[in-house]
A and B are shown apart, each in its own frame.
Chain A
Amino acid sequence: MQLSNRSNRLLRPPKPWFVYMSLFIGLLLNYVPFGRHPGIPDWTALVLVFWCIREPQYIGMGIGFFLGILVDIGHGTPMGQYALAYVVLAYIANGLARRVMWFPSLLQALHVLPMLLVAQALMAGVRVFAGEEFPEWNYFLSSIVGAALWLPLTYLLLLPQFQPVDRDENRPI
Chain B
Amino acid sequence: MPVSNFQTHPVFRRGVSPKVRLLIYITVCVVMLVADLRFNYMESVRGYLFTAALPVRTVASESAKLLGNATEHFSSLTDLQEENVRLRQHKLEGTERLLRFDELVQENAKLRELLGMRKKTPAKSIAVEVLYNVPDSSSRKVILDQGKKAGITHGLAVVDADGLLGQVTRVYPSQSEVTLITDRNQAVPVQVMRNGLRGVMFGTGQGLHTLSDVSKRWQQAVQSDIGPGSLELRFVLANADIKPDDILVTSGLDGVFLPGLPVATVENVDREAGAFAHVTCRPLGGVEKSLRVLVLGRSELPPPPPRPETGDPPPPPVLPRARQAEGRD
Contacts and interface: CB of A to CB of B under 8 A. Distances in A.
Contact of A65 (B28, B136, B143): B28
B215 to A, nearest CB: 8
B141 interface: yes
Contact of A131 (B18, B26, B57, B328): B328
Interface string A110-137: 0000000000000000110111110100
A77 B136 contact: yes
Contacts of B134: 75-76
Interface residues of A, number: 51
A139 B46 CA distance: 26
A33 B212 contact: yes
Nearest to A115: B3
A92 interface: yes
- Could you say which of A29, A76, A99, A129 has the most chain B C-beta atoms within 10 Å of its C-beta? A76
A132 B328 CA distance: 10
Contacts of A35: 132-133, 135, 210-215
Contact of B25 (A38, A70, A87, A139): A87
A38 B57 contact: no
B117 interface: no
A33 B49 contact: no
B137 A34 contact: no
Given A65-B28, A87-B22, A95 B33 contact: no
Nearest to B32: A80
Given A32-B63, A36-B211, A76-B170, A87 B29 contact: yes
B113 to A, nearest CB: 46
Interface in A71-120: 73-81, 83-84, 87-88, 91-92, 94-99
A13 B306 CA distance: 74
Contact of A87 (B26, B42, B60, B131): B26
B98 interface: no
B77 interface: no
A70 B37 contact: no
B37 A78 contact: yes
Contacts of B64: 32-34
A158 B185 CA distance: 45
A32 B212 contact: no
Contact of A61 (B18, B32, B133): B18
A70 B53 contact: yes
Contacts of B50: 73
B36 A78 contact: yes
A140 to B, nearest CB: 11
B63 to A, nearest CB: 6
Interface in B195-224: 205, 210-215
B61 interface: yes
Interface string B20-60: 01100110111111011100001001100110010011011
B115 interface: no
A61 B21 contact: yes
B29 A31 contact: no
A15 interface: no
A167 interface: no
Contacts of B56: 27-28, 31, 74
A27 B42 CA distance: 21
Nearest to A31: B60
A146 interface: no
- Could you say which of A34, A35, A94, A126 has the most chain B C-beta atoms within 10 Å of its C-beta? A35
A69 B60 contact: no
A127 B37 CA distance: 10
B6 interface: yes
Contacts of A40: 135
B78 interface: no
Contact of A33 (B170, B213, B328): B213
B184 interface: yes
Nearest to B141: A76
Interface of A: 27-38, 40, 56, 60-62, 65, 68-70, 73-81, 83-84, 87-88, 91-92, 94-99, 126-127, 129-133, 135, 139
Given A78-B33, A96-B1, A132-B205, 8 more contacts: A31-B56, A35-B132, A61-B22, A76-B177, A79-B42, A84-B26, A91-B18, A97-B6
5 contacts: A33-B60, A33-B213, A35-B212, A70-B49, A97-B6
Identify the 7 closest CB pairs spanning chains A and B, nearest first. Answer: A35-B212, A33-B132, A31-B60, A80-B32, A84-B29, A36-B210, A80-B33
